[in-house]
Chains A and B, each alone.
Chain A
């Protein structure tokens, strides 16, 4: 089955700096890669996703890049703010496989220091 590795497990940045979280996946058939943000005590919520026919996607201060050859994808957050502090999870899925199961990375705890 699919295996998703996520690094780093913890990340501290100064407010205003950029943060980068990286994930690698094992199954070359995976073609859908969402990122979820989970605030303390809350449910995971989708913040951005990317499909294999796209190399990069941006949404305001958040961007995701995908390198299918190397089987890795990254989340970039620019101009970080204290409210960006949370745990971020990457995931991979084989779209069209019937169940759209997501395999998650183990998460990155991002702390933005004011």
Chain B
């Protein structure tokens, strides 16, 4: 099993450009999450999904959109990138039952110029 994978690993964008980050998991997890990690700020939740076709806002959702069309994929979109969105983005997934572990992907490093 590949676990949780993320595409791309690294990307440079110009201000105003758009892009989509892909998260894929092969563990049949119901719940999926997108976080951003900035120096000294820990991990902050952007959006999450508790199942195919559902999404919800997290702590820092502004400037991002998400979609969960297939259970195994969770997409994070930036419609008009801003330098403040320069960050490392982590996807995570888990089973829906109490006591389950949240597994993280390897991360996507995004630089917005």
Q: B104, A99: Cβ atoms under 8 Å?
A: no
Is A9 a contact partner of B40 (Cβ separation < 8 A)?
Answer: yes
Known: A44-B104, A95-B98, A99-B56. A106 touches B42 (CB 8 A): yes
Closest to B48 in A: A99
Q: Is A12 an interface residue (CB 8 A)?
A: no
Name the residue in B43, B58, B101, B106 with the highest tally of chain A Cβ atoms < 10 Å from its Cβ: B43
Kindly report which residue of chain A lies nearest to residue B38, judged by CB atoms: A106
Contact yes or no, A106 B50, CB < 8 A = no
A104 within 8 A of B: yes
| B:68-86 near A, CB below 8 Å | none
B42 touching A43 by the CB < 8 A rule? no
Q: Is A102 an interface residue (CB 8 A)?
A: yes
Q: Are B105 and A46 in contact (CB under 8 A)?
A: no
Task: Decide: B41 and A106 in contact? CB cutoff 8 A.
Answer: yes
Kindly provide the distance from the CB of A107 to the nearest chain B CB, expressed in whole angstroms.
5
**Complex-state Cα separation, A73 to B102, whole angstroms:** 19
List the B side residues contacting A32 at CB < 8 Å: 98-99
Look across to chain B and name the residue whose beta carbon is closest to the beta carbon of A90: B42
Pairwise interchain contact A101-B48, C-beta atoms closer than 8 A = yes
**Do B42 and A46 touch across chains, with their CB atoms under 8 A apart?**
no
Q: Tell whether A96 is near chain B: CB-to-CB under 8 Å.
A: yes
- What are 14 contact pairs spanning A and B, CB under 8 A? A32-B98, A43-B107, A44-B43, A44-B104, A89-B42, A95-B98, A95-B99, A99-B31, A99-B50, A100-B94, A100-B100, A101-B33, A106-B42, A107-B40
B residues with CB within 8 A of A: 31, 33, 40-45, 48, 50, 56, 58-59, 90, 94, 96, 98-102, 104-107
